[in-house]
Amino acid sequence: MVSFDNVYQCFDLDSKIVLGKDRTSYEIQGKWNEIHFKNDQDITLELACGRGEYTNYLAEMYPERNFLGIDIKGARIWKGAKIATAKGLSNAAYLRTKIERIEHFFGEDEVSEIWITFADPFLKKGKSNRRLTAKSFLERYRKILKPGGIVHLKTDNDVLFEFSLEQIDEYPHAKLIYSNWDIYSNPLEFKELEGKTYYEVMHLAKGITIKYLQFTLD
């Protein structure tokens, strides 16, 4: 991981310092475009990015924007970062950390958009607060998103999707823009949805419907 130019890691849960290539340390909050991307393009995050399929897919689709995949699993990030490097995607990078600490690594209004793709639905009793659309996470996103920035959720899980709709309805700073319980029942309404993760391919093979919504945070 430390040999990649496009990977940053944080191992100290009390620190805002990330380690980049060759373990060079950076205090990168609010400085992603300055330190890494070397431009002023909009930044999109993919949370719980896994192997980074969506991060790399969107980076290829929108070369005029910057994309960051975030996950705590090093082996998954290694895969996405390796593919991004092989494809020469200079607008795709990865951050290894806990998403609960996201506001420590991004400044106010630094992020333009967030994607949550097939995240763990945490179905066990008492774990709903760990879902990435819980109101506690919406509070974190609101600290780093630009006004009007869009949050996307793509999932196979009915419980997570229903929960997300409820959280958006209850959170006073959230406004639902679009929701669809079965995106493939009709022609796709957004070209970004054409990308498929490893898990989505498996779910579709089993006949599971894919859900999608988007909302803003003021």
Q: What is the set of active-site residues?
A: 120
Backbone CA torsion sign across 185, 191, 193, 196: positive
Q: What torsion do the CA atoms of 160, 200, 9, 101 make, to the nearest 10 degrees? A: -10
- Cβ atoms < 10 Å from Cβ of 72: 16
> What burial class does residue 168 get, using C-beta atoms within 10 Å of its C-beta: 0-12 exposed, 13-18 middle, 19+ buried?
buried
How far apart are alpha carbons 61 and 81 in whole angstroms?
Answer: 17
Q: Which residue has the tokens 């969107």?
A: 58
Quickly count: other Cβ atoms within 10 Å of residue 55's Cβ.
Answer: 32
What CA–CA distances, in Å, run from 149 to 7, 52, 67, 95, 154?
A: 24, 21, 14, 20, 17
The sign of the CA dihedral 89, 65, 130, 154 is negative
Amino acid at 140: R
